[in-house]
Structure 1
Amino acid sequence: MNAFNPGANDSRGRVDTVTTREHEAWKSRGRGRGAARRQTRDGTARRRNRRADQFCVHLVADERKIPVYAVEFKAPHKVTIPELVAGLHPIDLDRDVIDQEGDTFEFYATRLVAAVVTQIFSYMIDSGVRYGYICTGEAFVFLHIPKDDPTIIQYFLCIPNQDAQADDEVRLHRTAIGEMLAFTLQALAVEPPTQEWHDVAHNQLTTWKVEYLDVLREIPETLRKDPPASNYRPSHWKPVRKIHNTRARTRARCQPGASTPKHSSTEGSGSDQESHSPSAAAPSVFAR
């Protein structure tokens, strides 16, 4: 999984939580490099209005609603697969995005993706969840905020139509349903963020005033119509095979005075079998 650490997006107001029945690393520390001059910190509570395309999935148990993960939907023509592939990479927001100028497709894609992820990052912080995802209908960007650093968000890009290959023996795991199931189970298994986590987020995160639609309008239409070839490569891992060792039982006649032969301590231990585990992508950091 990769990561970036965005500052909070400036969408003011209050976050209204909803239940599942209703639907539901950029380092943005803001310290040094003139960050204070370009960004403002909210002195009041960080709760903001959620956008129409944002939802929070809750677990409803014992008459309590526990937030699990955040969701943000984007139309595939507004955030395209080439833009996601080009824009998701290790960055420093201060260095690479804020107040920067460029004319390449990668620069515009990076700025667009930075704005989109910053929006849901802010919503995740406000909702007190460490998991979330962006869905365009063609791709998923799964997101995770580490428990020990709420100023960084990790990402993982998933394009099911390219990930699930017909000749892949574990292709079901790479389908949209398989990826969503694994993501949901992982989000359900984590403990809620601690008060210290919330305090660090409140004290260290700053506000980047940005609207992704404004960023989208700045991209020349000629670049969007003819993007460079995508270098997306589906992640691959070897399945973990569970091999059950069975010992053949033989009948033996006990002879008087004969000792029963002892089995080797290594018999059936499977010591010559390889254990394959999924490979995890190395974290990358979007820093601001």
Structure 2
Amino acid sequence: MSESRIVEELRFITNPRQKWCPTNLRPWPDFLQQQRIVFGTLYDTFPSDRRSFESRSFLSGLGSRIARRKITDEKALEYFLHNSVEDPVRAIMDELKKVEEVNRAFDLGNGIVFENHPHVMSDAAEEVVDRNLRADQICVYRSETADSESRTMLYVSEYKPPHKLTAPHLRLGLRPMNIHKEVVNRKTIPTSVDPDARFQYHAERLTAAAITQTYHYMIEGGLEHGLLTTGEAIVFLKIDWRKPETLFYHLAEQSAEAEAHPEHAHLCTAAAQYLAFSLIALSVPGGRSPHGQDERCEAMGKLKTWAEDFETTLRSVPDGERQPPESSPGYKPKAYEDVDRSPHLLRGKRRGHAKDRHTKEQVTKDPDESSESSDDESRRNVLGTPTPTERRTRGRNHQSQGGQGSQGTRHSQRPLALRPQGGGEGRCSKNGHKPYCTQKCLLGLVRGGVLDPGCPNILLHSRKPSDDHGYNHGSGRADARHPIDLAGFMKLFGEQLKQTLDDGITPLGQGGARGVLFKTSLLAYGYTFVSKGTVRAFIKDLEHEAAVYKRLLAIQGIYVPVFLGAIDLQPLNRTYYYDHRVYVVHMTFLSWGGHDLYSTESRQ
């Protein structure tokens, strides 16, 4: 390896990849109210006498076993969170999805998946890059099907060990601020003469560096939600995509909160708050479809980057300055003593308690309780869940329609207070329902031949580009030729990709070791085919595949798919953010070859 190449490799290792950085940091003002709404919805919809979960004796034993293992590094924290938080939340979700009313309220699908293995094409996968240590991250997905092959990312979770990012760091570092002005480009640095100010300075830098990394992946993934956890504390994060440069936060310290709210201690635990947060993410319109590629690109255009990552920042803090001085206010935990933590229930509705309920609280009526009809109206305004009468009516409507329109029913029953006021539905590709072109059609395009009368998109191919409603008079003739040649096709498609990565591109959720598949359309003429996208590390593999297709030109469209060409997105300054840390920058275009035998047999 040449010396210049070695230097380049070392630069890649030591220089952290620049991260998109939020401009403004703001408290998440209604987080606890949303949490109460979620718990109230669960109390309203989940049968109180249902016995679906592990016994207290098992949980007590599990807690004792986990408590013996100290959190000394990232792997120990991962073990702790997986066993004491993530797996229990997944198990609870598995039970909730079995109750139809709960499933409708939150659109649970087939539950959620905590995934800690990188996608085979992510920049953290071993074959893609074996020299970069991956930050400890968990991606949380909504599972659409029982086999979990069809899923949608809900939020990303980042781990930071509590000895690296302490609770005092978070208590003092999380405050309303302009991160660029007050942290990244801060002009004055406190000296050791003022230990409180010095610790505050380090706390703000460490906290900002940590949440910036999570924010970066939220922006790339088009996500509204994310979290950062140390095991001792959780920072819940939210992006309002109308103003994506602002990051909202809520700091949860579950142990202190449980002690401050003994009657509702079970709702303050890490598992309970993870559960509520997951249900909040599921309840957002667009939870199935993250914000589109073009919207993400537009947001990135408004953001600045920060090159210094958390580990670099941590190493810059002297060992003697990593703990707060005795006079620091950072020692006092945030317990939200003055906040009502009870579930937000229908006014006047009492929850039936099981005899062996651990806590003995009774949910009482509000002092200003009025009639049941006004209670229901208030509930709809605050929560958006239907009244019992509405549920019965909607249930009858759903059954009378044979299940059709159920998506709209579920959407209307999601907690309205959890929905953003705009921009959250995600974009639908314009080619989603367009049929694929025939092999003969695309072969004619490649060879400069005639249109295939049997192609379902023939009228779109014959459309005059200057008039969306005009068609060539010869479109029905058997000898009508393609309106463009292959070079024109590639030129138009390159211009389309530069303009949009949403319209005309639909991810199919399928892929292999070297690529992922998309349903793709040239919008100007309706040519519809598949594209295989890949990351930078595997471009040479797809270029080799393209060379093989060219050698097989004589049998294309007969024994192998028709090869249309390939486009590198990097000169277009575009990246398709396919999954967590999966950056598609190269696309190969092929005719659709049909379903594989396994999936065909499964459908039969």
**TM-score normalised by structure 2 residue count:** 0.33
Of 293, 300, 309, 1:211 maps to: 309
SS at match of 2:177: coil
Relative to structure 1, the CA distance from residue 96 to residue 23 in structure 2 (aligned partners, 3 Å threshold; closer, same or farther) is same
Residues 56-65 or 112-121, more deviating: 56-65
Matched, 1:182 2:256: no
How far has the Cα of 1:102 moved from its partner?
1.8
1:54–1:120: 8 Å Cα contact kept in structure 2?
no
CA distance in 1 between counterparts of 2:229 and 2:370 reads 47
CA distance in 1 between counterparts of 2:257 and 2:276 reads 15
SS at match of 2:215: helix
Matched, 1:237 2:335: no
Q: What does residue 136 of structure 2 align with?
A: 53
Matches for 1:14-53 after TM superposition, within 5 Å:
20=113, 22-23=115-116, 49=123, 51-53=134-136
Q: What does residue 198 of structure 1 align with?
A: 296
Relative to structure 1, the CA distance from residue 116 to residue 49 in structure 2 (aligned partners, 3 Å threshold; closer, same or farther) is farther
How far has the Cα of 1:172 moved from its partner?
1.4
User: Quick one: which amino acid aligns to residue 333 of structure 2?
Assistant: Y
Residues 71-80 or 219-228, more deviating: 219-228
SS at match of 2:200: helix
Q: What does residue 171 of structure 2 align with?
A: 85
Residues 66-75 or 97-106, more deviating: 97-106
How far has the Cα of 1:52 moved from its partner?
2.9
Q: Per-residue CA shift, 1:70-116, capped at 9, x if unaligned?
A: 01001100000000001000111222112324231111100111111
User: Quick one: which amino acid aligns to residue 156 of structure 2?
Assistant: A
Relative to structure 1, the CA distance from residue 223 to residue 170 in structure 2 (aligned partners, 3 Å threshold; closer, same or farther) is same
Higher RCO (CA 8 Å, separation ≥ 6 residues): 1
Relative to structure 1, the CA distance from residue 244 to residue 109 in structure 2 (aligned partners, 3 Å threshold; closer, same or farther) is closer
- Unmatched runs of 5 consecutive residues or more in structure 2: 1-20, 24-111, 125-133, 191-197, 351-368, 384-416, 418-604
CA distance in 2 between counterparts of 1:88 and 1:68 reads 24
CA distance in 2 between counterparts of 1:225 and 1:194 reads 42
Q: Per-residue CA shift, 1:95-146, capped at 9, x if unaligned?
A: 2112324231111100111111111110111122111101101110001111
Matched, 1:95 2:178: no
1:57–1:67: 8 Å Cα contact kept in structure 2?
yes
CA distance in 1 between counterparts of 2:349 and 2:305 reads 55
Relative to structure 1, the CA distance from residue 173 to residue 226 in structure 2 (aligned partners, 3 Å threshold; closer, same or farther) is same
SS at match of 2:259: coil
User: Quick one: which amino acid aligns to residue 340 of structure 2?
Assistant: W
Of 220, 231, 237, 1:143 maps to: 237
SS at match of 1:169: helix
Matches for 1:112-151 after TM superposition, within 5 Å:
112-151=206-245
1:163–1:174: 8 Å Cα contact kept in structure 2?
yes
CA distance in 2 between counterparts of 1:189 and 1:167 reads 26
How far has the Cα of 1:64 moved from its partner?
1.9
1:55–1:70: 8 Å Cα contact kept in structure 2?
yes
2:222–2:293: 8 Å Cα contact kept in structure 1?
no
Kindly name which structure, 1 or 2, has the bigger radius of gyration based on alpha carbons: 2
**TM-score normalised by structure 1 residue count:** 0.67
Q: Per-residue CA shift, 1:134-183, capped at 9, x if unaligned?
A: 11011100011113122111110001110102763222111111111100
SS at match of 1:20: strand
How many aligned positions are there?
Answer: 220
CA distance in 2 between counterparts of 1:219 and 1:71 reads 25
Q: Structure 1 segments of 4 or more deviating over 4 A? A: 270-273, 275-278
Matched, 1:162 2:263: no
How far has the Cα of 1:200 moved from its partner?
2.6
How far has the Cα of 1:194 moved from its partner?
4.5
Percent sequence identity over matched residues?
34
CA distance in 2 between counterparts of 1:23 and 1:154 reads 25
CA distance in 2 between counterparts of 1:151 and 1:268 reads 43
CA distance in 2 between counterparts of 1:134 and 1:156 reads 10
User: Quick one: which amino acid aligns to residue 141 of structure 2?
Assistant: H
Q: Point out the structure with the larger helix share.
A: 2
1:141–1:155: 8 Å Cα contact kept in structure 2?
yes
Relative to structure 1, the CA distance from residue 202 to residue 166 in structure 2 (aligned partners, 3 Å threshold; closer, same or farther) is closer
CA distance in 1 between counterparts of 2:302 and 2:215 reads 14
CA distance in 2 between counterparts of 1:244 and 1:130 reads 33
Q: Per-residue CA shift, 1:204-248, capped at 9, x if unaligned?
A: 122111121121122232222344242433222253354249xxx
SS at match of 1:170: helix
Measured on the aligned residues, the alpha-carbon RMSD in Å equals 3.2
Relative to structure 1, the CA distance from residue 202 to residue 179 in structure 2 (aligned partners, 3 Å threshold; closer, same or farther) is same
User: Quick one: which amino acid aligns to residue 52 of structure 1?
Assistant: A
CA distance in 1 between counterparts of 2:374 and 2:279 reads 32
Relative to structure 1, the CA distance from residue 268 to residue 22 in structure 2 (aligned partners, 3 Å threshold; closer, same or farther) is closer
